[in-house]
Amino acid sequence: MTYQEALRYLNSFVNYEKQYEYDYKKSFKIERMKRFASLLGNPQMAVKSIHIAGTKGKGSTCAILHSILKEAGYKVGLYTSPHLVSFQERIRIGDCLISEEDVCKLLDKIKYIIDKFKDDRPSFFEVYTALAYLYFKERRVDFAIYEVGLGGRLDATNVIEPLACAITPISYEHTDKLGNTLSQIASEKAGIIKENGICVLSPQEKEALAVIEDICKERKTKLIVVGRDIMFEELKATDEKETFSIFGLFNEYPILEMKLLGHHQVINAATAIGIIEGLSFHNIIIPFDAVKEGIAAAKWEGRLEVITRDPYLIIDGAQNRASAATLAKSIKKQFRYKKLILVLGVSKDKDINGILDELLPISDSIILTKSKVVERACAPSRIKELISAKDKEIILTSNVEEALDKARSKALTEDLVLVTGSLFVVGEARHILVNKVNVVV
């Protein structure tokens, strides 16, 4: 098949990333994914793997870990979601995204197996996860890093047997599917913890921590907690880099520098180093220089990413209250500007009120928009109804490109434009901007 035919075929599967209402426990079927993987010969078992779940920071932690292992000389596969611009971003080895040709070849190989499912077809995410399993096996990677799509227990990535897993900070998200309390959400995410395994845990609220500690004890899993077993110290934060030190179980990592911005990224780096130290229990030793160079080289688009300066144009996927609070804190701490122009687009199933509570106080004017590719995108007019502040200028737009044009026309040299909310909005914005402006490297 051609790549366009491959895209049409992939888009023929139900995609829960873009849907608003569905029954999580009936739609996410881990037994179906186990059968799917089994029919493919369980390719995921042929590669050493690492598994990362969480609410905030799991993609960044994956990216940092990927960079460290790459600098250590390993051939490393990385599977993440969602993508910002292209499906190909989800599957990569080293610096190279999966090619259009390889997507087509792999789909040709597995189409006859998918046909066996008839009335119980896999989802889009399950099919793409299967492609990652096959691709990493065929390319004989040394390690494959998998980011959980949603939750953990029922996720399509949860048929691997990882060397180690990690759970990044847990906060309220997808409460209609994962549960209304942090305990329930933590229990779903802790579903990736395996018997006699290794789990690295980012700092958590007490409620989530208690659940994960109990599950690790029950499954005889070694638990390494950032903030208790792995310590960190932020030394300096600018609009260009973070400087910090990490103190691990076995080693110290002084004066590390990273282009990923924000105190939360220091925590993500500490979590990645926790995984690196966890690998030593499997006699896999990563040298300090690889850790240092890997952290310095780490990139993760769409997360507090500076697209331009003078004026600042920053994009970040803050999709719940906790992420929005972290974003607001980082913006105020690390950037100097006169006025902030907020470009916001959010999905219907997100905590829109919580996001507004955190971002409105730092915003001087607000431009509301929506993604053109997601049916669960909230109408800008509906978001406006939730804004109680009457002293701020509010502009409604019908798409991301219109919103960006209005923001850039309003922004003076000393201002800051912040594009945030849905990762789909951020992805569309990034695609538009890299073709219009000189992007900061």
Q: Mean of the per-residue pLDDT values for the chain?
A: 95
Mean pLDDT (whole number) for 42-49: 98
Could you check whether the bond before residue 311 is cis, i.e. omega within 30 degrees of 0?
yes
Which tokens belong to 318?
A: 């803050």
| Plot region of 226 (φ>0 → left; ψ -120 to 50 → alpha; else → beta) | beta
Residues 336 and 282 in one domain: no
pLDDT value of residue 177: 87
Question: In this structure, is residue 345 part of a structural domain?
Answer: yes
Residues 6+ apart with CB under 8 A from 329: 263
Tell me, what's the pLDDT at 441? 43
Q: Are residues 323 and 232 in the same domain?
A: no
Return the amino acid letter for 146.
Answer: Y
As a whole number of angstroms, the distance between CA 6 and CA 12 comes to 10
At 25, is the pLDDT very low, low, confident or very high (cuts 50, 70, 90)?
confident
Is the same domain home to 287 and 365? no
* Rounded alpha-carbon distances, angstroms, from residue 109 to 15, 103, 129, 358: 21, 10, 14, 47
If pLDDT is split at 50, 70 and 90, which confidence band does 438 have? Answer: low
Helical H segments across 28-139, by residue range: 30-39, 58-71, 100-114, 124-138
Ranges of beta strands (E only) in 39-81 are 48-53, 76-79
Question: Is residue 440 pLDDT above 80, yes or no?
Answer: no
Range of the domain at 395: 305-434
Of 342, 336, 296, nearest in space to 316 by CA: 342
Residue 410 has pLDDT above 80, yes or no: yes
Encoded tokens for 188: 């779903």
**DSSP-derived 3-state class of residue 107:** helix
Same domain, 163 and 201: yes
- pLDDT, position 349: 84
Same structural domain, 364 and 269: no
Render pLDDT for 46-80 as a digit per residue (tens, 0 to 9): 999 999 999 999 999 999 999 999 999 999 999 99
| Residues 120-136: tens digit of each pLDDT | 999 999 999 999 999 99
Amino acid (1-letter code) at residue 2: T
DSSP state string for 358-394: HHGGG-SEEEE---SS-TTBPPHHHHHHT---SSSEE
Whole-number Å distance between alpha carbons of 320 and 114: 35
Interval 349-408: pLDDT, tens: 889 999 999 999 999 999 999 999 887 899 999 999 999 877 889 999 999 999 999 999
Q: What pLDDT sits at residue 70?
A: 98
pTM: 0.95
Say whether 287 sits in a helix, a strand or coil: coil
- Cis ω before 203 (30° cut-off from 0): no
Do 126 and 105 sit in the same domain of this protein? yes
How confident is residue 435, by pLDDT bands cut at 50, 70 and 90?
Answer: confident
Strand 96-97 and strand 91-93: pairing?
antiparallel
Distance, CA of 412 to CA of 405 (rounded, Å): 13
Q: β-strands 198-201, 231-237: how paired? A: unpaired
Our CA dihedral for 365, 371, 377, 380, rounded to 10 degrees, sits at: 30
Q: Among residues 264, 281, 297, which one ends one of the domains?
A: 297
Point out the domain boundary residue: 275, 297, 319: 297
Give the residue from 241, 265, 297 where a domain finishes: 297
Gap between the Cα atoms of 169 and 326, Å rounded: 12
**Cβ atoms 140, 75 nearer than 8 A:** yes
The mean pLDDT value for 215-232 works out to 98
| Within-domain flag for 441 | no
10: closest CA among 137, 139, 100? 100
Task: Give the CATH number for residue 405.
Answer: 3.90.190.20
Round to whole Å and give the CA distance between 163 and 161: 7
382 and 355 within one domain:
yes
Q: Give the percent of the chain with pLDDT over 90.
A: 89
Question: For residue 8, what are the contacts with CB-CB under 8 A and spacing of at least 6?
Answer: none
Answer whether residue 189 is part of any domain. Answer: yes
Distance CA 383, CA 274 (A): 40
- pLDDT, average across residues 141-157: 97
392-416 b/e (C-beta count within 10 Å ≥ 16 → b): eebbbbebbbebbebbbebbeeebb
**Which amino acid, one-letter code, is at 270?**
A
d(CA 107, CA 12): 13
The pLDDT of residue 437: 62
